[in-house]
Amino acid sequence: MDTIQSDNYPIYFNNSIDELADFIKKGNYSRFFILTDENTGVHCLPLVKSKIEGLGDYDLIEINAGEESKDIDFCIGVWKMLIDFGADRKSLMINLGGGVVTDLGGFAASTFKRGIDFVHVPTTLLSQVDASVGGKTGIDIDSIKNIVGTFTQPKAVFIEYVFLKTLPPRQILSGLAEMLKHGLIADANYWNQLKTSDLTNPSAQLIHRSVEIKNVITIEDPTEKGIRKALNFGHTIGHAIETYSLINDHDPLSHGEAIAIGMICESYLAHRKTGLSAEDLNEITQVFSDLYPRYTIAKSSFEALFAIMQKDKKNQDGKINCTLLTSIGQSTIDNICTEAELSESLMYYINL
Ligand code: NAD
Ligand code: ZN
């Protein structure tokens, strides 16, 4: 599979960890740091260590697994360890993990000493097809997701398919939601290909295509002034459900599970507002309903969901904004949705 060229950095797909070793060798870094979480430290670090042996001094920084680590306290922890380990401007940060590690590690590196180089080695499907590409870094504050962050591109991304072998099926499903989204917003053929594939184990080719779609969009609009907003399809409602679940549920929804619900609801809005056909709406609803478990949304939670949507940084002038579809494979950005319309779309999901 071809290396994808992004905004001044390569995204490697073949023998990626060898490429990482090569990158370190050529990079002339004073020292490097590998950020992992508890799981990637066990499942992914051994392969990386075996390839970088002898390439220079490095230190390990480990955070707890899960979204709770993507906050300012863990970020301060990472900064302090960088200070203790003697990081300087010529240091390199290697973020080895899912979206939590790549977002937090990218943010910590992009702000430490006003920015040191970092690369991503994404180890979840979601981080391979989405979080590691496009230069968004960030942390959450008080359950408001990604409220503080930077747009900073990594120096390279190394996508290693073998890491997905230890990923729990629920995490595969989470990343799959973003792949399906890429088809829905930009490529009907890809959507059709996904629909007919074994999605419990998406192939490396399907992952490569997903990265291509995200990459083309983010290169065109790196700071989300226009076309990049297409990637927010499913995310206005999905993010609100994800945040609500994080606060209220004992076993919260994953990002992808929440976004899948968001995409069903926002496809309904698209049918009502931007011309998505009834056939397309039914097809989308069917595909997501077959793949993802049902989630109970109580009507009494609507107010809380709207309050979360209001705080969404995608909004302007206090109006709730959605990216919608005009057909499968084509999207339209900046659609203002009223609470009545949003309620109706949530009711569509509830009544399925
Ligand atoms: P995550 O990083 O929490 O990883 C999910 C779980 O999988 C964790 O428990 C992790 O330890 C474990 N894990 C990771 N790799 C593994 C492996 N190879 N084998 C076994 N277990 C492994 O979550 P995620 O779903 O990867 O990412 C979610 C985060 O990504 C969210 O915070 C979201 O906001 C962010 N995100 C960012 C962007 C962006 O553009 N920057 C885009 C989408 C999502
Ligand atoms: Zn997403």
In this predicted structure, what is the pLDDT of residue 318?
78
In this predicted structure, what is the pLDDT of residue 143?
75
Q: Ligand 1: which residues within 6 Å by Cβ? A: 37, 39-40, 43-44, 65-67, 70, 97-101, 103, 123-124, 126-127, 130-131, 134, 136, 145-146, 163, 166-167, 171, 174, 255
In this predicted structure, what is the pLDDT of residue 314?
73
Q: Three-class SS of residue 120?
A: strand
Atom of ligand 1 nearest to the CA of 106: 41
pLDDT exceeding 70 applies to what percent of the chain? 100
H or E stretch including 43? helix 38-43
At 83-128, the pLDDT tens digits run 999 999 999 999 999 999 999 999 999 999 999 999 999 999 999 9
Region 16-33 average pLDDT: 96
CATH domain 4-166 topology: Rossmann fold (3.40.50)
At 60-79, the pLDDT tens digits run 999 999 999 999 999 999 99
Contact (Cβ atoms closer than 8 angstroms) between residue 173 and residue 256 = yes
How remote is the CA of residue 97 from the centroid of ligand 1, in Å?
A: 7
The residue contributing the CA closest to ligand 1 atom 4 is 98
The residue contributing the CA closest to ligand 1 atom 44 is 131
Using the predicted structure, report yes or no on whether residue 315 has a pLDDT greater than 80. no
How remote is the CA of residue 126 from the centroid of ligand 2, in Å?
A: 8
The residue contributing the CA closest to ligand 1 atom 29 is 99
At 271-310, the pLDDT tens digits run 999 999 999 999 999 999 999 999 999 999 999 999 999 9
3-state SS of the chain: helix, strand, coil percent to 5?
55, 20, 30
Region 55-61 average pLDDT: 94
Domain chopping of the chain, boundaries: 4-166, 169-350
In this predicted structure, what is the pLDDT of residue 312?
79
**Could you give the angle at the alpha carbon of 245 between the alpha carbons of 290 and 68, nearest 5°?**
115
In this predicted structure, what is the pLDDT of residue 145?
83
Atom of ligand 1 nearest to the CA of 146: 34
Superfamily grouping for domain 169-350:
Dehydroquinate synthase-like - alpha domain (1.20.1090.10)
Atom of ligand 1 nearest to the CA of 100: 2
Using the predicted structure, report yes or no on whether residue 9 has a pLDDT greater than 80. yes
